[in-house]
Amino acid sequence: MTKDDVAGLLRRHHLRVTPQRRAILHAFRGTPDEHLSAEEVLSRASQAVPEIGRGTVYATLAELAELGLLGSVGTAEPVRFETNVAAHDHLRCRLCLRLFDVELGGRELEARRLPGYTIESVAVHAEGICAQCHDYERGVIDGAGGILERPTLNDALIGELSCVKVESPIGDLALGASADGIVRVAFEDHADFQSLSMRAKSRRGSIAGRDRLTALGMGVNGYFGGARDALADMIDWHLLSDEIAELMRSVQAIPYAQPVSYDRIMAGMTAYDCGLAVGGNPMPLLIPCHRVSRGVTRLEAYVGGLERLRFLEDLESGQVR
């Protein structure tokens, strides 16, 4: 690629013709099938522009690839190591960014003849969405749908709770507490909401439970007012299985505005069961399941519905005033 070719290419894409961009593109002066690493581009470009920095090269290569001026092969992910040393194929999930051993036919390609070449081993690398990410999504959707249709608490248990209904920017919340702690935070469209709201009108229940509700109400108001501190641990965990309680404690520990992917917290659970528990979280806000992501993406499914999910994400990103 000549200097004139480089300048014309940049102008056609409405980019300034800087010495750095010219040097980087001119580094590809070999044959069209030449594949250069960023370090090789840096080495060649620095011959024309000695002061060019590594950061400039990496940023410019990314810019040119995004515009379609350059193609890119491979991934910026670090090298990953494994104990399986036999040649085998992999799939990289573009969501959770994990690698999985899969069979893609690489062994069959080893017998293929390429004139002038000797194939000694083949390992196929594919990219897509892994089975666990699909399973987690199904679980969240099923869990979020179930809490709309089926109460999580029976009438006898609700009759023993202290309950209160409070207002919030995302609608009224019905809260229920035993003497040992909070057992339910229900949105208006949850199947438990009406029963908890009716119980709240009676003003019955233990003094300890009512104290818990007062503290939670203050914490929720603070959260919607911009407080970044985690809500105090005031949960009665007895109604949850040990496995789900362990998961929910991990969710509870996720810091404000710092999403964590489901695969980091699901421990020995299946991805579907993890999603089912997160999607059917009985104590949203207190257990901030809106901070659980699917890898680098957020699911458009939430125990409180998509509109509430977006509000909470905007709140924690500072977009709600």
Q: Which residues share a beta bridge with 177? A: 162, 182
Tens of pLDDT, residues 130-142: 999 999 999 999 9
Tens of pLDDT, residues 176-208: 999 999 999 999 999 999 999 999 998 889 999
Q: Residue 287 has what pLDDT?
A: 97
> At 44, is the secondary structure helix, strand, or coil?
helix
For residue 181 the two structure tokens come to 């702690």
For the chain, helix, strand, coil in percent to 5 are 45, 10, 45
Amino acid at 285: L
Could you identify the residue written with the tokens 């496995």?
243
Which of these ranges, 28-42, 86-100, 150-164, 250-264, has the smallest mean pLDDT? 28-42
Amino acid at 193: F
DSSP classification of residue 235:
B
Chain CA centroid to CA 212, Å: 31
Question: Which residues, 6+ apart, have CB-to-CB distance to 234 below 8 Å?
Answer: 177, 181, 182, 212, 215, 216, 286
Which of these ranges, 79-93, 159-173, 268-282, has the smallest mean pLDDT? 79-93
Mean predicted lDDT score pLDDT of the chain: 90
Choose between 245 and 318: higher pLDDT: 245
Chain CA centroid to CA 65, Å: 25
Could you identify the residue written with the tokens 């339910």?
184
Q: What is the set of domains in the chain, with CATH numbers? A: 3-66 (no CATH), 74-129 (3.30.1490), 134-316 (1.10.10.10)
Q: Residue 274 has what pLDDT?
A: 98
Q: Which residues of 232-271 are buried (b: 16+ CB within 10 A; e: fewer)?
A: eebbbbebbeeebebbbebbbebeeeebebbbebbeebeb
Indicate the pTM of the whole model: 0.77
Reported as a pLDDT band with limits 50, 70 and 90, residue 78 is low
Round to whole Å and give the CA distance between 40 and 43.
5
